[in-house]
Amino acid sequence: MARQRTPSNLHQLTVREVLAAADGDHTDGGGLLLRVRAGSSSWVYRFTAASGRRREMGLGPARRGSTAQAGESITLARKLAHEARDTLARGADPIDEREQRRRTAREAEKAQKATKKREQLTLARVARAYHERVIEPSRTVKHAAQWIASLEHHVPTELWHAPIDSITAPALLAALSGVRALADSTQKVPETLQRVRQRLDAVFEDAIFHGHAKTNPAAAIRRKMQEAQGRRERGEFSALPYREAAAFMAQLRAQEGLAARALELAMLTAARTSEVLLAEWHEFELDAALWVVPAERMKGGESHTVYLSEPAIAALQRQVGLHGKFVFPSPIVEGQPLSNMAMLTLLDRMEMRDRTTVHGLCRATFSTWANETGAARPDVIEACLAHREADRIKAAYNRAQFMAERRALLEAWAEYLAKPPAANVVPIVRAA
């Protein structure tokens, strides 16, 4: 095979000349230079770009510690210079092309690191980090343990260990729906899944805040989960099962703030939200255990007398002195009552808003308890709820005759709410 000849203007330097080169530029031909400066030396490729601009491209250090090193160094430099000439021949700039390769390599490395980090930031890791940082310091040991256990036990493994930013709302809904389908038919199943959704909501919101996710699928599926439970009849409010009311009341009484006290009074009196929030001190006769809600604040347009139980009076007495007019004054706006969102916000904080409304909790729960346990005659129950009687003559008679029975009913309700959670049903003796 014929030996390939090197053009005469190339490879002008010998290894010995590389070793002995003094300060200055020493050409090897074809634009390749050995540059020696104050004891350091490097290889440089000088060329004219397509734009006509003269440029110099560094090809790395020139190693001159020995004959072997010098030989290897000049061979590599010639190889790189040859590649640069080929690039020029294609009409490209070798410096620009090299920078593009470096950028591509950096981007690939960055993407690889991001992928690795993404794979590590699973829902499980992010949820446990949030639990350790936020939940454990703010909850009891028992509640904190239940909080994370509910996620570990009810989020399917394939989702629990998936990258958090890869989880979509349809996938999450399908996973939780699958858990519901496999579970037994107890009432605890939808309740537990709603709690799981609420807790995932908090985890995803925190992940978005810290840049670990861009969307919150747990928030997106809230309405869909409610739809899956079946449509409620028109006008019906979601209400807590009355067997859980005592446990809820115990938790409520442990809550701080005006909203908690307002909700406590509303539950004890089966009152509407507006009746409680707009209550003024002149409406109450605590010595007589009476609260007369004026007609202009009643849905039916007629005044309504509420017979106060001892716990209701105690709840009111804790409010004495806070404000001269309103029982539950706004802590933000001077001279105004508490906002109608305050109790809803409280239900959110107690993780109960997916299970009940304020109206349903205070009125429907009471009504269901009273009717199912036979605590009083239906018309007495309706009178406590201030439901209008179609027959006005009968309505007037009922209001006059039901005082003792209505008082007994609300006292029995207060006693039921004070029972330990295990005592689901309180024996009721109807008033004579």
pLDDT at 106: 86
Top pLDDT among 227 and 89 is at: 89
pLDDT at 51: 84
pLDDT at 118: 62
DSSP structural state of residue 244:
G
pLDDT at 427: 39
313 Ramachandran zone, left/alpha/beta (phi>0; psi -120 to 50): alpha
pLDDT at 228: 65
Indicate the pLDDT class of residue 114, thresholds 50, 70 and 90: low
Residues 6 or more apart from 193 whose CB is under 8 A from it?
154, 176, 179, 180, 225
Could you report the per-residue pLDDT of 242-263, keeping only the tens digit for each? Answer: 999 999 999 999 999 999 999 9
Nearest to 399 by CA among 308, 302, 311: 302
Q: Are the C-beta atoms of 312 and 414 separated by less than 8 Å?
A: yes
Indicate the pLDDT class of residue 120, thresholds 50, 70 and 90: confident
**For the structural domain made of 242-418, what CATH number should be given?**
1.10.443.10
Nearest to 361 by CA among 265, 256, 292: 265
Its sign, for the CA torsion 253, 254, 260, 261, is positive
Tell me the average pLDDT of the chain.
84
CATH homologous superfamily of 15-96 equals Integrase, DNA-binding domain (3.30.160.390)
Whether the predicted pLDDT of 232 surpasses 60: no
Q: Are the C-beta atoms of 141 and 135 separated by less than 8 Å?
A: no
Whether the predicted pLDDT of 325 surpasses 90: yes
Q: Are the C-beta atoms of 371 and 365 separated by less than 8 Å?
A: no
Top pLDDT among 68 and 399 is at: 68
**For the structural domain made of 123-228, what CATH number should be given?**
1.10.150
Could you report the per-residue pLDDT of 292-307, keeping only the tens digit for each? Answer: 999 888 877 788 999 9
Helices first, then strands: H and E counts in the chain: 21, 7
Lowest mean pLDDT among 58-62, 192-196, 376-380: 192-196
Indicate the pLDDT class of residue 234, thresholds 50, 70 and 90: very low
Q: Are the C-beta atoms of 304 and 386 separated by less than 8 Å?
A: yes
Mean local confidence (pLDDT), 278-299: 92
In the chain, which residues fall in CATH 1.10.443.10? 242-418
pLDDT at 182: 43
Nearest to 32 by CA among 45, 51, 23, 19: 45
In the chain, which residues fall in CATH 1.10.150? 123-228
Three-point CA angle 232, 235, 238, nearest 5°: 55
Q: Are the C-beta atoms of 309 and 406 separated by less than 8 Å?
A: no
Indicate the pLDDT class of residue 229, thresholds 50, 70 and 90: low
Place of tokens 């716990």: 311
pLDDT at 179: 63
pLDDT at 287: 94
Mean local confidence (pLDDT), 204-233: 81
Helix extents (H) in 54-187: 67-89, 94-120, 123-130, 136-138, 141-154, 157-160, 169-182
In the chain, which residues fall in CATH 3.30.160.390? 15-96
Q: Are the C-beta atoms of 41 and 64 separated by less than 8 Å?
A: yes
Indicate the pLDDT class of residue 429, thresholds 50, 70 and 90: very low
Indicate the pLDDT class of residue 329, thresholds 50, 70 and 90: very high
Q: Are the C-beta atoms of 139 and 130 separated by less than 8 Å?
A: no
CA-to-CA distance for 21 and 40, rounded, in angstroms? 11
pLDDT above 70 covers a percentage of the chain that reads 85
Could you report the per-residue pLDDT of 356-399, keeping only the tens digit for each? Answer: 889 889 999 999 999 999 998 888 888 899 876 544 444 454 55
